[in-house]
Chains A and B, each alone.
Chain A
Amino acid sequence: MRLSRLLRSTPIRQAGLLIAVVAVVTLATLGGAFLKMRSDLQAGLRADLTRELAGFDVSATPGALATLVDARARATDPARTIFAFVGDDGRFAGNARVRITDTEVTLSEASPRQPLSQAGYMHEMRRLSGGVLIVAQSLQPVRQLAETFLGLVVFSLVPTVLISLGLAALVAGRAARRVEALEATLNRIAGGDLAARVEVAREEDDLTRIGRGLNRMAEKQQAATEALRQVSSDIAHDLRTPLQRIAVLLEDLQTHLPDDSRAAELASRASDEAARAVSVFRSLLQIAQIEGGSQAQHFKPFDLSQTARAIAELYQPMAEDRGDRFVLEVPERPVTVTGDANLVGQALSNLIENALRHAPAGGTLTVVVRARGAGGVLVVSDTGPGIPGAERDKVLRRLYRLEQSRTTPGHGLGLSLVAAVAALHDADLTLSDNAPGLRVSLRFPG
């Protein structure tokens, strides 16, 4: 895990690329030099062979040639140069055995005291009077050249690569730790801990600058959130007190009016409107609070099935009284997710209330909980009019209502709260077509 992260880090990737370029260039240079020198060497060997053969050309008879070859062969180490003469009459002279077939010439040692070169030979063959003369040069110099170049590669390139890789790993490790610190801080901020800061390194480089930038951003966000909290609690206080007074005065007024009078009815309607204002106001405040994210600090594992059962049980009689079929599909085993059970319960309750409000009576309302990987899915579906595809994103906005549902009760904040709860829990919220009806699913991570 750590290693694969390290391998994917930018410094290691860049170091790897540089090393690869250096390696290719070095190999190409050395390889080119090697090929040139080898071909020069081979040309030299070939010239030597031609010269040697020319020296024997003067001998006229096979006997003389054999004697000459024998003399040269005795004075020469077959590991370097082989001289051999095979007479047509079966006469043989030389410091190595030679077998000639139509296609090739095979050399083997004449005696164990005179081993041949392991590097192979380059030979020249010439038909002279009464036999075949063979001169072969060992390819040992070529092999030595190759070994020298290999040595060069090993002793120059390998340490370079190893040292560069080591340094890159060291630098990458350090950078990775710093990037990890940045990531961890970002995650903490995203998780609602706005006081999280990066420890800024002494040296001035790009990561330090990013760290400072991150800290500045976090400070601003913290200040903004604090200001928002302050403003909303001020608004809450300044608005709630008059709302409280209105509620009090209306309640008071009602006791002074004769029951069943027109005035009492108006006072009662005013009371209901005040209550509605309070309800919208409370919901807006609550959504703002959830979106603030600080509640994530109180997250605990809870059983999604149990929450669904409790909320479904609360609404089942209401749905049945409407003539709806209420279906609850919840597994026996607990489906554990991490979060705030109360908020998830409220989100579910909003979804059920939405279905009861917008779907005509006599349909089917289904609540499903399923384990999904380490997490769980909560699905609420109805058989009502549904929400047209283009409108599905909009209904998650605050106070947005479909044209057709303007006349139904509710304040258009139910789904916004569901969306806020989903975001707080890192859960995927999907609205889809239940054909017919609306299907809302909340997928909680494990």
Chain B
Amino acid sequence: MSLKLLVVEDDPTTADFITRGFNEEGAAVDRLDNGRDALAQAMAGGYDVMVIDRMLPDLDGLSLLKALRAANVATPALFLTSLGGVEDRIEGLRAGGDDYLVKPFSFGELSARVQALGRRPPLQQAETVLRAGDLEMDLLARTVTRAGQRIDLLPREFSLLEHLLRRKGRVQTRTMLLESVWGIHFDPQTNVVETHISRLRAKVDKPFDKDLITTVRGAGYRIGD
């Protein structure tokens, strides 16, 4: 992990926690507690991802990001907010935010989302085959094989697996999966994603020696080689 992050958060406990978490993951974090300093710092550039709290002293998060976007700073930005309404989310995305996380959040969720923003794959040529270990997904024929054995998947299982394979090695949280695979923007009270993952595992991992799909405690799921 060699991401360089700018964290703008005025609550010291939260800022500590975020900074420590990312440091443990090996990311370099610059930490600021107000919007004015952040504007200057972000203009200097060089960051992979910015994590910005919406309520900041001096210059609030929305205005900060608007100013940065106006100055052609395209660094991906994730808003942290204590406002959770649909309209606040739309407002944040409209100001140039790339993602949005409502407090309180777990570090796993934040980390997964920051990774997703920081490692957005460059526009690649359309891949036709995705691989993880001995698992192969042919996107044209819509077939999946593992160790040469054909695996039959339902359409939604296929798209879930495709989503994980395209982000191989990166944690995908339950809410991220709900948003991208099902297009759902609310938190169900029950862990529905778990059920889908275990069905997928039953087909993809169970008949084989090695598990490709792993659960990351307190965060989500990841597929690896």
Known: A240-B104, A244-B105, A248-B14. A279 touches B189 (CB 8 A): yes
Give the complex CA separation of A318 and B188 in angstroms.
13
Q: Does A342 sit within 8 A of B, measured CB to CB?
A: yes
Give the complex CA separation of A285 and B85 in angstroms.
8
Q: Please, which residues of chain A bring their CB within 8 A of the CB of B195?
A: 317-318, 321
Q: Does A339 sit within 8 A of B, measured CB to CB?
A: no
| Contact yes or no, B218 A349, CB < 8 A | no
| Contact yes or no, B183 A241, CB < 8 A | no
Q: Does A209 sit within 8 A of B, measured CB to CB?
A: no
Q: Does A295 sit within 8 A of B, measured CB to CB?
A: yes
8 A Cβ contacts from B157-192 to A: 182-190, 192
| Contact yes or no, A282 B187, CB < 8 A | yes
Q: Does A119 sit within 8 A of B, measured CB to CB?
A: no
Residue of A nearest to B54 (CB): A237
Give the complex CA separation of A237 and B103 in angstroms.
9
Q: Please, which residues of chain A bring their CB within 8 A of the CB of B106?
A: 247, 251
Give the complex CA separation of A345 and B83 in angstroms.
22
Within the complex, the shortest CB–CB distance from B182 to chain A, in Å, comes to 6
* B interface bracket (residues with beta carbon within 8 Å of A): 20 to 34
Known: A245-B14, A345-B184. A318 touches B104 (CB 8 A): no
Residue of A nearest to B16 (CB): A248
| Contact yes or no, A317 B199, CB < 8 A | yes
- Give the contact stretch, choosing among A11-19, A104-112, A307-315, A368-376: A307-315
Within the complex, the shortest CB–CB distance from A236 to chain B, in Å, comes to 5
Q: Does B196 sit within 8 A of A, measured CB to CB?
A: yes
Q: Does A88 sit within 8 A of B, measured CB to CB?
A: no
8 A Cβ contacts from A4-56 to B: none
Most buried by B among A246, A247, A285: A247
Give the complex CA separation of A313 and B83 in angstroms.
30
Chain B proximity mask over A246-271: 1 for CB below 8 Å, otherwise 0? 11110110000000000000000000
Give the complex CA separation of A190 and B39 in angstroms.
42
Known: A317-B196, A318-B195. A240 touches B189 (CB 8 A): no
8 A Cβ contacts from B1-49 to A: 11, 13-14, 17
Chain B proximity mask over A155-175: 1 for CB below 8 Å, otherwise 0? 000000000000000000000
Give the complex CA separation of A285 and B196 in angstroms.
29
State how many residues of chain A have any CB contact under 8 Å with chain B.
Answer: 44
Q: Does A145 sit within 8 A of B, measured CB to CB?
A: no
Q: Please, which residues of chain A bring their CB within 8 A of the CB of B182?
A: 310, 314
Picked from B17, B82, B83, B86, the residue with its CB within 8 Å of the CB of A295 is: B86
Q: Does B127 sit within 8 A of A, measured CB to CB?
A: no
Picked from B85, B105, B156, B190, the residue with its CB within 8 Å of the CB of A353 is: B190
Q: Please, which residues of chain A bring their CB within 8 A of the CB of B13?
A: 244-245, 248-249
Within the complex, the shortest CB–CB distance from B159 to chain A, in Å, comes to 11
Q: Does A153 sit within 8 A of B, measured CB to CB?
A: no
Q: Does B209 sit within 8 A of A, measured CB to CB?
A: no
Q: Does B107 sit within 8 A of A, measured CB to CB?
A: yes
Q: Please, which residues of chain B bring their CB within 8 A of the CB of A313?
A: 156
Within the complex, the shortest CB–CB distance from A332 to chain B, in Å, comes to 18
Give the complex CA separation of A282 and B81 in angstroms.
13
Q: Does A289 sit within 8 A of B, measured CB to CB?
A: yes
| Contact yes or no, B189 A237, CB < 8 A | no
Q: Please, which residues of chain B bring their CB within 8 A of the CB of A310?
A: 182-184
Within the complex, the shortest CB–CB distance from B219 to chain A, in Å, comes to 11
Q: Does B57 sit within 8 A of A, measured CB to CB?
A: no
Q: Does B52 sit within 8 A of A, measured CB to CB?
A: no
Residue of A nearest to B88 (CB): A233
Residue of B nearest to A297 (CB): B87
Give the complex CA separation of A245 and B105 in angstroms.
10
Q: Does A278 sit within 8 A of B, measured CB to CB?
A: yes
Residue of B nearest to A341 (CB): B183
Residue of A nearest to B108 (CB): A251
Give the complex CA separation of A127 and B41 in angstroms.
136
Known: A236-B84, A240-B103. A414 touches B189 (CB 8 A): yes
Q: Please, which residues of chain B bring their CB within 8 A of the CB of A244?
A: 11, 13-14, 82, 103-105
Known: A237-B83, A278-B104. A353 touches B199 (CB 8 A): no
Give the complex CA separation of A243 and B82 in angstroms.
10
8 A Cβ contacts from B90-127 to A: 102-107
Most buried by A among B55, B83, B85, B106: B85
Additional 9 contacts, C-beta under 8 A, given A237-B55, A244-B104, A310-B183? A236-B83, A240-B82, A244-B105, A245-B13, A274-B104, A310-B184, A317-B196, A321-B195, A346-B186
Sampled A-B contacts (18; CB under 8 Å): A236-B82, A236-B83, A237-B55, A237-B82, A241-B103, A243-B104, A245-B11, A248-B17, A249-B13, A251-B218, A279-B187, A282-B187, A289-B85, A295-B87, A321-B195, A350-B189, A353-B189, A409-B189
Q: 8 closest pairs, A vs B, by CB?
A: A240-B82, A244-B104, A248-B17, A237-B82, A247-B104, A240-B103, A346-B186, A245-B13
